[in-house]
Structures are given as structure tokens and as C-alpha cells.
Chains A and B, each alone.
Chain A
Amino acid sequence: MRPIKAAIVVLLGLAVLAPHTRAQSLPVGLFERYLENLRQQAGIPGLSVAILENRRVVWDAGLGHRELDGFLAAAADTPYPLLDLSQTFSSTLLLQQCVEMRHLELADRVTRWIPQFSEPDTTVAQLLAHSAPGNGFRYDLSRYESVGTIVAQCTSDRFARLAANDILDRLGMVDSVPGHELGDDRRFFSSSAIQRYEAVLQRVATPYHVDSNGRATRSSYTRPSLTSSTGLVSTVRDLARFDAALDDDGVLLRSGTRQNAWETLGSTPTGLGWYVQRYNGERIVWHFGLARDAYSALYIKIPGRNLTLILLANSDRLAAPYNLSNGDVTTSIFAQLFLKLFIG
């Protein structure tokens, strides 16, 4: 019995230590030093970051300030507008609620669900991929808002309520809000939920304009209501929960659905709600967010390595200097840092 007991103890010990040992194999300390340096050079007042490996957060932190005037430090639980990253939630909802429930086929014409949609031949898959028959790829936020309308049609529910119930609440994303401006959706939430949302919104990082000398000045930002293109508010810590759930088969999506979402649609640089490209033989799945002179975001997944990087910033410098909407994340110095350090 004694050798068996000893073996069990050793195995249990290894099981507990394994994630930490693995986490330490990532050069997170070096990444942090480079990232902080790039943050300062880019002129980002506050930056929150999370790195996940194998669905576990190996590092999350805030660098700089979420508000310069009050010297309020940015943290991993600092809320920011997700901007275009909201699209990854929208596509997940559509795939989960409509496609996996067999209410909808990706090959359906958009006009089946929105008769007045101006492109009669465009399919739901093409809408999710920012493409259209004959026109190729065109990143268009207002066009992508039709995704939310389709989700509402196929579920007979409000898009904001679905986002709140089926993703935010389900995953315990307690620092996330389904709409920077709750607007008409407010009446669909409980008073306790509204209170929580308002408390989160009060902590949202202050937006800054950064001039050509790197000086940051407070800027104005028009808070959007939730659409399928933009409007979610969240933290890197909450996004890490979303990310882990996304990679966990069946929690948000079945593995086949997820795989399908992360394949490029024809010659476009996009899958279903995500940008997809290759880097040194690895598939990279990513999205960015940009509000000029206010906020930016970057979310990069390397499925083959089970690695994820999430960055949220209170200036536009994560995304504005690069034409990320064209589909090449490697133009971003922040993406280069992550990819070179963790892939090579």
C-alpha cells in the first residue's frame, strides 16, 4: 500500500504544481518590461493586460493610470469600452443561439432575417466575415450591426438581454456591462443588475487624446448603446473568463462551431466575427477595437499554443497607428511583442 500512497501523493503534488510550473515557462516578466516600455513610448496613460495559457490566467495587471488627474492606477479589473471587440461576443451569440440551435444556417441570405437588408445575395456567414459577394472584404461597423438584428430575430429576444444572460452572467463577468449607455435596454434588467452596471460604469477608465509629442489630455467620448458592433464594457479579467469559456468545448460553442468561426471565409482575412491569419506557421485569431482619441483594444489568440493576449487601453494608441482593419495584426508593435516573444 505504501508505494501506492506515495505515488498518489506525488501525482497530486504534480497536479497542483503543474499549472504554475508551466506558467513560469512563459517569459511573462520580460513581456511585462517590454510592454510597460512600449506603453510609455506609445503614449498610453492606462493599459490593462491579461495573458492566458491553457484557459488559465498566467498574468494580469494594470500599467499606468486609468485616470491621470487623480493618479488612479489602472488594474486588471479596470473597465474599458470593448469597442469593436464586442463583435466577438455578437458572433458567439449568433453561433450559439441561432446556428447551434438550428434556427439558422450560415448560408442563409441575410434578407431571410432582415427583409429590408440592402444586399440580397449576402449570406449570414459573409456578414459575420465583413464580406459580400463580388465586393470582397470591407470592414464596416454599421453593416455588422445587422448581426444583432438577426440574433434578436432568431431568438425572439433582445440582443442586450441575451448578451447579459447568456454570456456575462453565465460566465460571472461581474465587471462587465451590456452597453456603455444602457438606454432603452435598461428596462429589461433587474434593479440590482442596473445598480451593478452603474457602479461598473463609474469606474470606466477616462479616455485620453495623445498628441504627436506623446502628451495625453482628457478627451470626450460618446457612450454607445449596445449593438452587435460595439458597446460592451468589460475588464481584461472578465474577458479572460470569456476567453477561457470560448476555448472550453461546449461552454459557449461546440468545438466544430468554433473551428468553423476561426477559418477564413474565402479570401477574406476574417472568419466568423474574428480576424484570422497565420504567423510563423501558427494560426492567429484576433480582433481589435478603436475609438479615435479615446480608447483601443487588442485581443489575440493563438489556438495552437492555447495562448491569449488581451489588452485594453484608455487612448487610441493600441490600434490607431496601424491599419488593423485591413487584417494584419503583425503591423502592431504590441502584437509583434507578444508573437515574437511567445512564438518566435
Chain B
Amino acid sequence: MSGLGSPAQAARRALLGLMLLCAPARADADWLFVPFLGGSFAPETTFLVFEEGAGRKLVIGGAVMLLGDGLLGLEADVGHIPGFFEGDDPRGLVLTSRVTTIGGNVVLAVPRSLTRESLRPYVVGGVGLLQARSKHAAGLFPIDWNLLGVTIGGGAIGFITDATGLRFDLRHIKAASGADGPLARPGISRLSFWRATVGLVIRY
């Protein structure tokens, strides 16, 4: 059932490529480490979903951004959503579930010469691995997929001290491939959701 091969490999290659691109970046660019916390919402999926309220869950994760004073930056991002397919019913049919995203993104930020010391807005987009897992009562209809994921979003970074700050981030994450689920609606992605997070920014 799992499409482990190509999407996962493609995501890893994309991430590696992006990180390699970081190497020749300007020497004065900052490395930003961003552990974040937030929530997922507005989920859509072609997978069978067995609980009301699935997809609106706590998100934890971290990002590494390479961002200079100019327009262009890079980001590697890992997000983890435990219990993604579980709803509000403690006696629900879903036993365990999670969605994990690993992505490499390009960041377009407003140059620091314009924002000075205020919040610095950015948009972000990239590709990566979207991993969905769900186990259900009696072992029926398990979800075990590794998908090529696409991310687009934006946010703003502001520094409180010289080395620390906050990042406010909103992004839409979706599987690049379309429907093939047994009850799939045409035209929607296999899995998509919005992710809103607040992160602590540590400048290195």
C-alpha cells in the first residue's frame, strides 16, 4: 500500500539540494533555529476518515532557516502532528495516527533594509515528504502512505533580542497527488491541511 519509493526519495533529494544550495550563500546570512508549536486546521483528504474532528490537532516541529539581509532564504522544516486522524470520541475507531512533514523550502523575505528592526514578513514554498499513518480498530483500512508534499505559506519574524525572537507562520501543506481513495471526491488532494504555528527563533 505504501508508495515509499519515489515520493520519499524525491523529497530527500529536494531537501539535500536545497541544503547544498545553502553552502555558497552569503557569509553574512544568519542561521535561524525555530522550534515551533501550533495547530492544524481545515483538513481535506481522500483517505477514509473514521472520526469527526480529525485533522484539527496540535503541531510540533522545528525549522532551520538560512536568511540573510536580502530577499532570498532557505528553510528545512519538520512538522509532526500526533493523532491527526483522531477526533473527539475517546471510543473512536482510530487507534493511533500521525502526520509528519519534512520539507525543503525557498523563503522570500522582505529585505532587512526595509523592515529594519520591525517584523520581517516572508513567503515560503517548497516540496517535501508528507507521511500519513493511521491504525484503526480490528486493523481495518490502515493508512500508511509516504507522499510528495507541496508547501506554500508565509509569516513574519521579529527579534526581541539580538539572538532571539518569534516567528509567526501560516502555511498550506498538501500532497501533490490527487484522489484515488475508495470514496474519493474528484479534484481534491489525497491529504491537505493548513498549519499555523508560533516559533521561538534562535539566531546562531
Give the interface of A toward B (CB within 8 A): 27, 30, 33-34, 37-38, 41-42, 212-214, 317, 321, 333, 336-337, 340-341
Contacts and interface: CB of A to CB of B under 8 A. Distances in A.
A41 B48 contact: yes
A333 B183 contact: yes
B185 A213 contact: yes
Interface in B19-76: 48-50
Contacts of A30: 93, 137-138
Interface in B74-124: 93
Nearest to A42: B183
Nearest to B187: A212
B140 interface: yes
Given A30-B137, A37-B48, 14 more contacts: A27-B138, A30-B138, A33-B137, A34-B50, A34-B93, A34-B137, A38-B48, A41-B183, A212-B185, A321-B182, A333-B48, A336-B141, A340-B138, A340-B140
Interface residues of B, number: 13
B131 to A, nearest CB: 23
A341 B186 contact: no
Interface string B158-187: 000000000000000000000000110111
A271 to B, nearest CB: 26
Contacts of A34: 50, 93, 137, 140
A337 B182 CA distance: 12
Interface of B: 48-50, 93, 137-138, 140-141, 182-183, 185-187
B48 to A, nearest CB: 6
Nearest to A214: B185
B51 to A, nearest CB: 8
> Chain A: interface secondary structure?
helix
Contacts of A37: 48, 50, 93
Contacts of B138: 27, 30, 340-341
A179 to B, nearest CB: 33
Nearest to B91: A33
B15 to A, nearest CB: 34
B93 A333 contact: no
B49, B182, B185 — which one has the most chain A CB atoms within 10 A of its CB? Answer: B182
A212 B182 CA distance: 13
Given A321-B182, A337-B140, A33 B93 contact: yes
Contact of A212 (B93, B140, B141, B186): B186
B46 to A, nearest CB: 10
Contacts of A340: 138, 140
A30 B50 CA distance: 12
A333 B50 CA distance: 13
A341 B182 CA distance: 17
Nearest to A31: B138
B140 A341 contact: yes
B63 to A, nearest CB: 34
Contacts of B182: 321, 333, 336
Contact of A321 (B48, B140, B183): B183
B49 A41 contact: yes
Nearest to B50: A37
A27, A30, A34, A336 — which one has the most chain B CB atoms within 10 A of its CB? Answer: A34
29 contacts: A30-B93, A30-B137, A30-B138, A33-B93, A34-B93, A34-B137, A37-B48, A37-B50, A37-B93, A38-B48, A38-B183, A41-B48, A41-B49, A41-B183, A42-B183, A212-B186, A212-B187, A213-B185, A214-B185, A317-B183, A321-B182, A321-B183, A333-B182, A333-B183, A336-B141, A336-B182, A337-B140, A340-B140, A341-B140
